[in-house]
Structure formats: C-alpha cells, structure tokens
Amino acid sequence: MIHWDIEDRKQLITLLKDLPELGTERSRLQILESTGLKQLVPMIDLSGTSFVAVSEIVSYLSQYGRLTHDHEALGLFLNTLKGFVGIQQQEFLDGLLTKYDMMTPISAIPSIRQWQGGETTADVLEKIIGDNTLRPIAFLQQGLEVARSVAYIAVQSGHERWSGTGFLVTENLLLTNNHVLPNSDLLPSSIFRFNYEDDFQGRAQPAHEYYSKPNGVFHTNQKLDYTLVQLDGNPGRKWGCLPLFPRNIKRGGRVNIIQHPAGRPKEISFQNNFVQYVGGDVVQYITSTLNGSSGSPVFNDGWEVVALHHAGGHIPEPTTQQRYFRNEGILTEKIMFDLPPKIREMLNVEIN
C-alpha cells in the first residue's frame, strides 16, 4: 500500500487525466492489460470522465499493494505510462517510483505514441493478412533456448534508478545500450538478473543475479548506443550466450525481440514484426516494445541476433531522412566493426 503525500497524488492525477491514452474506457482497459494488470481490471471502475477514472485507477492500485517483492501494482502502471509522456513528465514519474519504492524505473527513451510501419495502417495490415506464419513447432523450443541468455538490468546512480535489458554474447560479456549503462562508474551498483520470468501459470521463476567483474572489460559507444560489460562468475556457462556474427537482414523480413518491457518479467514479441528499412547503421521494424526493452536482442526468423534494440518513435531513415513510426536497432555488424581488436578476440570475431 502506498501512503501518498497529498501534493504528489494531486500532481499525478493532473498529469494522467490529460493523457489521450487514458481518455476513453476502452483505452484505459487496453493500457491496464498491456501493463500486465489484466487480472485487476474487473475490480476497477473505468467509466466516467478522465479525472474520475484516473482517480479510481490510482486509488485502487495504490491500495492493492505489491504484485511481487519488487513490483507495486501502481509502479507497473506508471512505468508503462512513461512511454506516452515527455522527458520532464518521465522524470516526475521516476521520482514517484523511487520515493515510494514502487519498483525500479525503466531507462528513459523518446516518447512512443504509435506503432506503424508505413504512412497508413493499411500499409501494415495488408502485409500481415497476406503472409504465411506457419513455423515448425521446434521454432518455439529454440526461442526458449535463446531467451535464457537475456537479462534484466537494474542500475542506480545516487537517488536515481532505472532498468533495461541486455544479453550475453560470450560466457561473461554482456551487450546492452549506452543509454542503459553509459559509464563504468555505474557498475558497482548495477545488477544483472537472469531467469527473471514467469511460468505459464504466472508464477515467478527463481532468478539468479550477477555483478560486473572488478576491473573487467567495459567498452561503450554513444553514437552506436552500445555498451559491452564483463560479468563476474561466467554466467554463460549456465545461461548460454548469443554470439555476434554478420547477419543478412532485408526489408520485408521478420524479427523477434526478447525483452523486459517496462521492467516486467521476460516477454517476447514475435511473428507480426516486419523489417521496414535497412540502411546506415540501423534496421527499422514494426513490433511491440516498451521503455525497458532497450538493450534487447533483435533476432531474425532463425533466432540469430541481427541487431541491438535501442529506440523507437517518429524516427528518420538515415539515408532518406523520411520519418515513420517504427522501432530501431543497431546492426550487429556495425557494432562488431567498431570493437577494439582485443575485444574482438574475446568474442572470437573475425572482420573481413
């Protein structure tokens, strides 16, 4: 249960009541379901004006308390809504999440209001309807296998906290975004959590936490938005790894993303996720992600890593400068070419 400071609650209601995404009963239902709170929806009155409905949601979730040891129900809701507000509003929500210990805030990324691969929804729908989605059943088994290497990252800097996603590329080297881990000073207070996921009945699985190796490898590039960090204890011996190789990815192909959206237990977005553009250093695609998905592996349909997910929104194509609503990942081959020779040797990477 959250014991509110009156002014904090008032400011929160004022912010949320003006969000278009909470403007109708149907949209409020969709937001709650996407947040992972579907089981609580029958107990919340979502009707009425935005002010009334938002007040009801905040009150109920505040009183409900924790869903798990790390997650307040309201914390999951506010973490998800960070994807629909500006930077200043994200900072305000982060402050509430930290002040009331609701959960670790997800790393801030640009606001994402719509996912659409073309200029109209018809551009996407026609393709989805007409494509063959049949796959061997072993496709699911392989997806579960590669998912083991994906980790939740919790970072703390003073009174600030945020989360993201990363994945092992060797037994002890993990790849994530620069904006999740921008400098090595953050490593002593960063946690890398594997097997942070639920089973089919929604029961939490036993998670295993690791830390960075003292004086270990740390290499980052802000322009390509990647960070490579060495972990202590060789977690890849237990969880496996996803080696980096140049992979061919073309417009019209499919990508699958395993992630920790909004700081939640591990989830996957797959199949109806089409590549819309490949050029410059990036691949752009339509798929479902949220803040907190930063640093996730982007797979092709053979479960090979083709990119490092890092952003989304109304973004430009590097070579045409035309803007579309899409997600974006840094191509693995661009990261590989940027690595210093000593790190390439550790990854057993050969550049031709």
Burial code (b: 16+ CB inside 10 Å, e: under 16) for 53-86 equals bbbbbbbbbbebeebeebbbbbbbbbbbbbbbbe
Q: 195-221, pLDDT tens digit by residue?
A: 999 988 888 899 999 999 999 999 999
Q: Which CATH number fits domain 114-352: 1.10.1200.10, 2.160.20.60, 2.40.10.120, 3.40.190.10?
A: 2.40.10.120
β-strand partners of 297: 308
Helix (H) or strand (E) holding 190: none
pLDDT at position 124 is 38
End-to-end CA distance of the chain: 58
Contact by Cβ (8 Å): 174, 164 = no
pLDDT at position 108 is 59
Question: What is the rounded average pLDDT for all residues in the chain?
Answer: 85
| Torsion-angle region of 303 (φ positive above 0: left; ψ -120 to 50: alpha; else: beta) | left
Q: 50-82, pLDDT tens digit by residue?
A: 999 999 999 999 888 877 767 788 888 888 887
Q: 295-334, pLDDT tens digit by residue?
A: 999 999 889 999 999 887 778 898 888 888 888 999 999 9
pLDDT higher for 113 or 324?
324
